[in-house]
Structure formats: structure tokens, C-alpha cells
Amino acid sequence: MTTITPIGAGARAPGERTTSLADSFDGFLRLLTSQLQHQDPLSPLDATKFTSQLVEFASVEQAIRTNTRLDQLIANSTSGARSSALGYLGNVVEIDTGLAELTEDGNAEFSYQLPAAAAAVSVRVVDASGRTVRELPGGRQAGVNVVRWDGASDAGQRQRPGLYRIVVDARDARGNAITTTSRDSGEVTGISGLPDRIRLEIGERRVPVDAVIGVRRPAAA
């Protein structure tokens, strides 16, 4: 007589079992029908065991279908993230970061945001060694303030192109520090890190997509 082995007994490896059940669920039904047809009339299949086996197989099949749908959902989500990232190519994005890029033409532009008007604001440009190469006055109004740096140090020496850290010190009328949000902008020239962690290439930087807080078309040449 043909018998049906419960899932817990002699189970296969997870991947193999999942594939087998997903591909042969109809075969299980045929096997079950055959078991009922060929059971010993003097020792019929116990109704409790039969029901238990049926419920167990049905539960596993439902789990397989759920996992399949989740895989499809993840794949669709990844595909959507790729498409969204590709939309940044060639556009200028504004990002939340404490870095600014001094370009080959010797200019850098960055911005920061104040939650409230400040009494005094100073902006320090710091190189990779931690040395402050330039200190600039900053805008004091609430909201976004743009700072432009000509690439020269306080001593008038031209600095090398590359990334510089921006430190903003904002104070209220009582001299208390005001928390600022640093911003920078640049044109997206490439995308890397697909598909796990998508990064936008902006000059020498690779920034995560979730750092983008604004997008605009580049200015016409």
C-alpha cells in the first residue's frame, strides 16, 4: 500500500523540499487519491492522521506561495529602485552632507540650513588633514543659506581640487549654538552599488540615494 510520509519525517533540504512541493503539489493530490483507492479495507486510513497530513501539506504549500510572492515583491522593489536612481543621471541633486567638492575650475558651492535666524555664523573649510584652510562668513537668515568658495586659503593660496569638510558655527543672540543641516549640490554622473546599496556618483563622491533632498535640471550651457 502506498503511504504518505509527514513533512517532519525524512525531510529534505529546505531549498530542495520547497522546489519539490511547489512543483508537485498536484502530484500529492494524485498520491493521496491513490492511497485512498488502495487502502486496506480491513485497516482503513485513520481519519485523524489523514486530516493532519492534509493540513500539514496545505500549510507548507501556502508558505511556499507566500515566499514566492515575497520574492516577486522584492524583485519588483529592487527594479523600481534602479529605475528611480537612473532618473538622477544628468541632473543636479542637493544632498544632506558635510562635504563640499572643490572642482577643477577652482570653485565650490555648498549650503546649509538654519532652523531660525542666527546672530552670527562662520563657516570653516577643512582639508583632509584636518587643517582649516579658509574661514568664511555665512548667511544668518532662517532657511537655506548658500556659500561660495573661490578655492583660495586665508593666505590666498589656491587649494587642490577635491573634497573638503564644511563646519558651520551658528550662534543666537545669547551666544548659544544653533544646530544646522549641511547641504551640497552637484551633477550626478554615474550610479554604482547596484542592486544592493545604490550610490549616486557626484564628482569624487558616492552618496546614498536617501541623502538626496532636492533635484533640479542643470543650468543651460
Summarize pLDDT for 114-142 with one digit per residue, the tens. 999 999 999 999 998 999 999 999 999 99
Do residues 24 and 109 both lie within one domain? no
Residue 2 has pLDDT above 50, yes or no: no
Q: What percent of the chain has pLDDT over 70?
A: 60
Measured in residues, the chain has a length of 221
Do residues 154 and 81 both lie within one domain? no
Which of 66, 86, 106 is where one domain is finished?
Answer: 86
Do residues 68 and 97 both lie within one domain? no
| Mean pLDDT estimate for the chain | 75
pLDDT of residue 11: 42
pLDDT of residue 137: 93
Do residues 40 and 67 both lie within one domain? yes
Which of 86, 102, 119 is where one domain is finished?
Answer: 86
Crossing angle between the packed helical segments 14-23 and 47-86, to the nearest 10 degrees? 100
Q: How many domains does the chain have?
A: 2
Domain-embedded: residue 221: no
Do residues 126 and 36 both lie within one domain? no
Q: Do residues 88 and 212 lie in contact, with contact meaning Cβ atoms separated by under 8 Å?
A: yes
What does the pLDDT look like over 191-205, one tens digit per residue? 887 555 788 888 777
Query: What are the grid coordinates assigned to 120, written together?
Result: 552670527
Q: Do residues 170 and 94 lie in contact, with contact meaning Cβ atoms separated by under 8 Å?
A: no
pLDDT of residue 193: 73
Mean pLDDT over 5-13 rounds to 41
pLDDT of residue 36: 65
Lowest mean pLDDT among 69-73, 183-187, 191-195, 198-202: 69-73
Q: Is 122 helix (H, G, I), strand (E, B) or coil?
A: strand
Range of the domain at 181: 92-216
Mean pLDDT over 176-190 rounds to 87
Do residues 153 and 168 both lie within one domain? yes
Do residues 66 and 159 both lie within one domain? no
Provide the pLDDT confidence category of residue 73 given band limits of 50, 70 and 90: low
**CATH number of 123's domain:** 2.60.40.4070
Which of 58, 86, 114 is where one domain is finished?
Answer: 86
Domain-embedded: residue 2: no
What does the pLDDT look like over 11-65, one tens digit per residue? 444 444 445 545 555 666 666 667 666 666 656 655 566 666 666 666 666 766 6
pTM > 0.75: no
Task: Give 204: exposed, middle or buried? Use CB within 10 Å, 0-12, 13-18, 19+.
Answer: exposed
